[in-house]
Structure 1
Amino acid sequence: MISCFTFITLAGCTVSETEMPVAVRIANATPAVPVTARGETTPVGTGNADAADDPAIWRNPADPAASLIVGTDKKAGLYVYGLDGRTRSFLDAGRVNNVDLRDHVAIGGQDGILVVASDRNAIANAKLALFRLDPATARLTALGKVDGGAGEAYGVCLYRDAATTYAFIVLKDGTINQVALDTAGTTPAGRIVRTLKLGTQSEGCAVDDRTGILYVAEEDVGLWRFDARATGSTTPVKIAAADGRNLVMDAEGVAIAPMGEKDGYVLVSSQGDNAYVAYRLRDDSYVGRFRVVDGAIGGAEETDGIDLMPGDFGPAYPGGLFVAQDGHNGAAAQNFKLAAWDDIVKALGLPD
């Protein structure tokens, strides 16, 4: 029998993007340029499972090559890696899904590195798990948990304005709660200040602190932006549709590459065809697509979380670091692949 799936251009056949077989959707995708990884992390401890999920980068300004990566094993806890990919520490935190961090946050009366993970140890009651990262020992210390709202915790990203550090916790159903964090005392506190909403399952998010814009990936729909300010509009603006061309569903991890005062790029994981898509911040325009392919180090496939930070990270990553979760790490458990932002910029033909 000839179906609309077999010949999608036949007259009278109308097939939605979500109904198309994966092979058809990938075949329709815009070509992606190849990039190879320069490093990778030790695999997470949970084998034979979808376990590694989301990374967050801390850049050491005094010694960039000594920078750290925090990564989630969503079945077990949080890893801290060096740029050589070796595990520096592990903290049993249970089912933590996504992670983000901010430097120079007042924690218990001292300046510190705040790490926040979306905690779904209780499926019906989302929590934000807060930690302090010690850059000298590369160890995490649990500070406590704050309420993230009713529902299953998925994504998380941090935003800092002049007065407050906020966490956006993305629940599985597309609800996004903005939580004002208070870490100045001995026990952290949080207060939901407003709620945003997308229609279906969502996860990856990132905030541009310079412009106060929140970017969120709705997995089968596309990439959106919101006003991140607590007093801002709650209406989302669609940047890109997951139409199987530039962005192939599932749209997953989101990361920002700030350039100058307000420019730069937002990147999103096009998980459906093992690619990453870049859009320009100043006008939401499509820039290009790339893949992390096999080289001296294996590539990255079916990526969930990503993170990106331009700047000096030492000899191996002099122009910046891109980290992507790898959903298929050969015979080993899942891990994270490290690519040089310089290599991505060159592959996409972006201005230096």
Structure 2
Amino acid sequence: MRTPRTARSAALVASATVLTTLLTAPLAGADGLPVVTPAGETAALYDDEAGGNSDADDPAIWRDPADPARSLVVATAKEGGLRVYDLDARQVQSLPAPRPPAEGAAPGRFNNVDLALGVRTRAGRADVAVVSDRGRDRLRIYRVDPSRPGGPLTDITDPAAAPVFSADEAEIDDQRTAYGLATWKDRSSGRTYALVSRRERTTVALLELLPAANGTVGYRKVRTLDLPASFRLPDGTAWSPCLEPGELPQVEGMVVDPATGTLYAGQEDVGIWRLRADLTGRPALVDRVREYGVPGTYDEATEECVPGADPGYGGRRLSADVEGLTLLQERDGDGHLIASGQGDDTFALYDRELSEGNEYEGGFRIGAATDSLDGVEECDGAAVLNAPLGDRYPRGLLVVQDGRETPAVEDGEGGTRTATGFKFVDLGAVLDATGR
């Protein structure tokens, strides 16, 4: 996630009308999209010294097969480490990110998280949460055990795990490090992998998770793939997104369709790519952001991009950045890719069927339920689980990051503290609102 640029704001769609309840026939926002409301939210996180430099980013949902009502949400808080919540959005565990190995070195900073079930360890199979540690350029692996005293997650990362992209500490501190993440179990081989993107670069790496000594889990790099950084427009000109000097258009949101071994990767300022999860073959651009093709000039004084005239080559569904991607799997084999458009606070649904070309099939917003339970803005990460989770979520759960938690809290110096958090949304409400 990068802070939305002022230059983008002029292109953003108007916010949805705030609702206090979800009606049987859902009301629509100003853009005609249906609006659903959250059923719960986590306590706010604050990205400042008083708040432990904690900034909500990405969630994952672990379903307890023995008691689905006791399922868990695992979520990243950047320098604040990991948070684990129950289905009432109450925190049940907090795990810190690693400390810097030396004075002046970068500390751990947890960016994205995904679940991998039945991973091989030398102590047997285990369900694990896999985390991209952007600060230290590594994967961190946590065993999930809801019966464990002191909290359900235990760090089982191989101490010898090497940096994903960096050759040395200087490169780690430069922070072109592990960023977005999705897990994948190859059904043909039974092997488990993590797909990891690189911050400020277009690279995606395929890493195999491997058992290591003393019940820990490590990884090895299989291959990498670089997505395009420059694009040929229909008028024959070349275009690249306007970014800070030295940056390339990075990927963050990613998800793998386990049925087809298809990776969907959100290149934030470009759109959504579809490619083989083993990173072979040719990527295809499923959809473009509205800002695709718009020229821009970086202004060093304001540290913002000044846009030029829109040539009209962009998409119609997503406003940059394209962020959280998650897969809604339906019991009949159908399903949808859900993508968050951070620029206009919407969520888009695309058909899961490759033969249909991942057609756009509608979208929705998440509006306020009450004055104290606000809607979702600037969403950075999302996770969905289409399975019963007890009486509270009998049709499943959608968890999304809220990039602008309200109401604002005063910082004691005449300003307000920036707050983020996670919203819990009844998946049944989303399915009803979108006609699924």
> Shorter-chain TM-score: which interval?
0.7 to 0.9
Contact 2:164 2:177 in 1 (8 A): no
Contact 2:82 2:95 in 1 (8 A): yes
Q: Which residue of 2 aligns with 1:203?
A: 252
CA distance in 2, matches of 1:21, 1:197: 26
Q: Which residue of 1 aligns with 2:423?
A: 337
Letter in 2 for 1:189: G
1:194 pairs with one of 215, 223, 228: 223
Q: Deviations over 1:33-69 (max 9, x none)?
A: 1000011112236457771000010011221111000
How many Å apart are 1:176 and its aligned residue?
Answer: 0.3
| 2:320 partner SS | coil
Contact 1:326 1:335 in 2 (8 A): yes
Letter in 2 for 1:319: R
2:178 pairs with one of 136, 141, 153: 153
Q: Which residue of 1 aligns with 2:412?
A: none
> What is the aligned residue count?
328
TM norm structure 1? 0.87
Q: Which residue of 1 aligns with 2:67?
A: 63
Q: Deviations over 1:159-184 (max 9, x none)?
A: 00132100011112121000011036
2:202 maps to 1:174: yes
2:399 pairs with one of 313, 323, 326: 323
Q: Which residue of 1 aligns with 2:133?
A: 119
2:378 maps to 1:287: no
CA distance in 1, matches of 2:162, 2:32: 43
Contact 1:59 1:68 in 2 (8 A): yes
Contact 1:147 1:190 in 2 (8 A): no
How many Å apart are 1:262 and its aligned residue?
Answer: 4.5
How many Å apart are 1:127 and its aligned residue?
Answer: 1.2
Q: Which residue of 2 aligns with 1:91?
A: 95
| 2:428 partner SS | helix
Change (3 A) 1:148 1:40: same
How many Å apart are 1:263 and its aligned residue?
Answer: 2.4
Letter in 2 for 1:117: V
Range with bigger deviation, 32-41 or 148-157? 148-157
Q: Which residue of 1 aligns with 2:285?
A: 238
Change (3 A) 1:133 1:270: same
Higher strand share: 1
Q: Deviations over 1:169-217 (max 9, x none)?
A: 1112121000011036424231111112223211010111111001110
Q: Which residue of 2 aligns with 1:216?
A: 265
Q: Which residue of 2 aligns with 1:346?
A: 432
Letter in 1 for 2:218: A
Unmatched segments (≥5 aa) in structure 1? 1-17
CA distance in 2, matches of 1:215, 1:143: 28
Q: Percent identity?
A: 38
TM norm structure 2? 0.71
Q: Which residue of 2 aligns with 1:310?
A: 386
| 2:10 partner SS | helix
CA distance in 2, matches of 1:260, 1:52: 31
Letter in 1 for 2:177: E
